[in-house]
Structure 1
Amino acid sequence: MEEQKDVTMKEFIESIEKSMRKINKGDVVKGTVISLNDEEVLVNIGYMSDGVVPKNELTFEGEVNPHDILKAGEEIFVYILEINDGEGNVLLSKKRADVVKNWDDLEEAFEKKSVLTVKVKEGVKGGVIAFIKGIRAFIPASQISTQYIDNLNNFVGEELKARIIEFDKDKEKLVLSSKEIQLEEKEKSKEKTWNSIKVGEKVSGKVTKLMKYGAFVDLGGVEGLIHINDLSWKKVNKPEEILSAGDEVEVFITDLDRSKNRISLALKDVKDDPWKNVKYKTGEILEGKVVRLLEFGAIVELEDGIEGLVHISEISDDRILKVDDVLKLGDKVKVKVIDINNEGKKISLSIKNASNPYEEELKKFNDTEEGFTIGELFKDLFK
């Protein structure tokens, strides 16, 4: 009878041992949170003794309170650090189990080319280090941005959208590219912009760079050019007089050529065209300012946005070889309107005739065989 009891007890112990999970150091197992306090979490892992997760093994996010991330009854994956922590408990780590599981998730993300969000931890030679789900990843300098990067440390602490471009679980190698995502987003934005803009529309943009011939404006993934002549109705010598890189501007679309990826813009409003209100008459004497000197003449500004040409032959009765022998930039001069072409927005002027408004009448007098008195010649002027 005593022997039968011994056999029964032995069988009972064996049955318990068989029901217990076999665990090894380095295994990842599922367990249930039994209880937790400010320092550790007690977990039932189906073993003869429970497991303990110290709070420093809960997460890679630094110092945390176990109550903030877990609760009793919750199922979690844990990594076996030690079978016996010295007090009869199994020493566990949740954060290391997460890493093992996260490698599997990242492998899937690599295969699907998913977009991930990572936080840059530090700048190193040739790139930056980021962490994603507790796993260290490297972003080469050439894969951080579509733009030139002067200082990689400027990205420390920043969150970036990235894609895995190299994955090796055995070597724990993870290489990411943020540039790839930026290029894709830029292409989508570019396509959206091309499909939405029309000639004549007024749109918002940002000045990206200034050149001697004009300014480039980003309209949303695609750039347009404001030629220097379309910056203002006034004379502009260089774009810096009107704009600076980074300026937010509203511009008019004047021309589109998608085949050449070309957009022409104007900062000046066509409705403000000063030529619409030009009321000059042929023969009228005006005052203007010399704004440009050319080989064949001078450009004289009559008012904002309205300029006329004084041909070299109309500067003086004397023979002139070089315009700048007679005129200088900024000179105030009197000019006579010789011809007006409103459609072509051109005015022909004369300086030499403006100095003698009665030249035509005097010429008639000199060409007439019969003599007339001055009073008779200008009688209509004195009425």
Structure 2
Amino acid sequence: MSALRVLQVSAFFPGHGGGIEAVAGALAARMPAAGVAMHWMAGGPREEWPASWPGVTVTAEPAWDPLERRLGLPFPVWSPAALMRLWRRVGEHDVVHAHDFLYLPTLAAMLFAALRGRPVVLTQHIGDIPFRSRRAHRLLTLLNRSLGAFVLRRVAQAVFVGLPVQRYFERFVRFRRPVCLVPNGVDHSLFHPPQTPPTGELRLLFVGRFVEKKGLRLLHHCLDLPGASWTFVGSGPLEPPAGPQLRLAGRLGPQQVADAFRTADLLVLPSTGEGFPLVVQEALASGTPVLVSTEVFEAFPGVDERCVFHVELRGATPEQALCERLQQLLGDPDRLRSARPAAAELARQWNWDATVQRYVDLYRDLAPAASHLLKSS
């Protein structure tokens, strides 16, 4: 059986620091062993481009992004020459796999696939984001209900990584075929519990982009709570203010992120509008309990409340709700540290091999029509 030719398109590479591109990178790393010849196209600043990706052909494109700093909504713009290269690549592959519709590169890839008769697998990671700015929220809602609904109705296969985003779009989208819920996997060889659990002062950890949907504005109100220190891993426009109990670690490589999880007592990620953040799974696999929004908590396919704590942030005072929940947890250190075995056990349900196989099955199901078109083109 010849290798499937799959073109994967994401807005950025993992160097950008977001979960979507980290998932794209994890899939790309494992596709060659699954019999898939993958070509990965993405963009962003040159300093974020990978030198290579084992087993995968990579095309990196420069991008201009005028909106992320102003609205917290990244929208990288590719040049006409880059879009022409994307057009050619679409025609050379059996299946196009796009990550999230709300980016120019992925929108162009899906348009080109429709024009060239190539099936599209669209993994939609993000749904509604309750921006503080009413203008930004209205814009995103309009885009989701117009452009998003249009795209999701027409792709060959829509995939979601968490139930909240799936249910959000199911309210107003009629899909061509039943949607698939495919949770992200975890690399258990990298993310595993420490031999010696942390002791001493409690350590709180945030990992992700410093943007509104990750809850950065809410966290800014909780940085002076007594009884704990903070470490922030990542970068972005909403950088936390410096303080004696706060360390900004910047962007870290996978091994350093795994080490940060193992030395933390609690991952705090009050994000909204996300399917099921990968860093939550990786923290649990490292034996670190998590505090997430109730919205993310509801996305868990199987949950253990001994290690997955949640707070309702959809009320009138989310800042107060988050601070009060953190104070409760910080007041019971033994509860946090006794949660580590349950966290590691819960994470065993996620496996990248199983996730990759789900996608390969989808590719193979969709590829026969594309193969016929390729022979006649």
Q: Same fold (TM over 0.5)?
A: no
| Greater relative CO, 1 or 2 (CA 8 Å, sep 6+) | 2
Query: Which range, TM-score by smaller chain?
Result: under 0.3
Higher Cα radius of gyration:
1
TM-score of the superposition, structure 1-length normalised? 0.21
Q: Greater strand share, 1 or 2?
A: 1
TM-score of the superposition, structure 2-length normalised? 0.21
